[in-house]
A and B are shown apart, each in its own frame.
Chain A
Amino acid sequence: GAVVSQHPSRVICKSGTSVKIECRSLDFQATTMFWYRQFPKQSLMLMATSNEGSKATYEQGVEKDKFLINHASLTLSTLTVTSAHPEDSSFYICSAWGGGAYEQYFGPGTRLTVT
């Protein structure tokens, strides 16, 4: 299947700083990318949908000014957590969709810890 990478895999940052997470589709063009967060021992919650060249669509309750999403190319989407706080600590997972035979390909996830 198609490969999606995320970078970094783990990041520790201080409260108040910003962190950028990259999601790349390595061998296909992703017209749409999705960002999820997963708290310990919980399920994945969709945060936002990102279409190449347009503004992201955020799910209800997700602060768009805090979680900045950019999908500048068909192979790269970034999620920036601005002014991070300890409650933002979570596992962030992206998925990419090429729009063909319906299947989302998931990245390996990024573990964010805010101290």
Chain B
Amino acid sequence: AQSVTQLGSHVSVSEGALVLLRCNYSSSVPPYLFWYVQYPNQGLQLLLKYTTGATLVKGINGFEAEFKKSETSFHLTKPSAHMSDAAEYFCAVSGGAGGTSYGKLTFGQGTILTVHP
């Protein structure tokens, strides 16, 4: 079984400030981890993913996340927020290749990021 918890349903930052969105996961198998962004009334866009290898992954738009197995975390960060970053962000987990949960994404509850001028 898999689950994802995103701490904080709303995060507000000032433009230029650090963005930190928290994600903790639970998985009975080695996880694949993802961050997606959703703008109003639109589908999801992949920001970044961790499957295997380097635990610090870089994504689009300056975002990055670090897989910490000991903490079962995959927090999303960006050094300097832009107004265009305002959106809803979802963390997701799936099982790795060969497992029964491979390909099935379980999403967190989402975090709405607000960026103030």
Contact = CB atoms under 8 A, between A and B. Distances in A.
Contacts of B109: 42-43
A103 B49 contact: yes
Interface stretch (B15-23, B62-70, B79-87, B99-107): B99-107
Interface residues of A, number: 24
Interface string B74-113: 0000000000000000100000010000011111111000
B42 A108 contact: yes
Nearest to B4: A43
Provide the main secondary structure of the chain B interface.
loop
Interface string A75-115: 00000000000000001010101000011111111010000
Contact of A46 (B36, B46, B105): B105
Nearest to B9: A41
Interface in A20-57: 32, 34, 42-46, 49
A33 B16 CA distance: 38
The 9 A-B pairs of least Cβ separation, nearest first, read A106-B43, A106-B44, A108-B43, A43-B107, A44-B107, A109-B43, A43-B109, A107-B43, A43-B110
Interface of B: 32, 36, 41-46, 49, 51, 90, 97, 103-110
Interface of A: 1, 4, 6, 32, 34, 42-46, 49, 91, 93, 95, 97, 102-109, 111
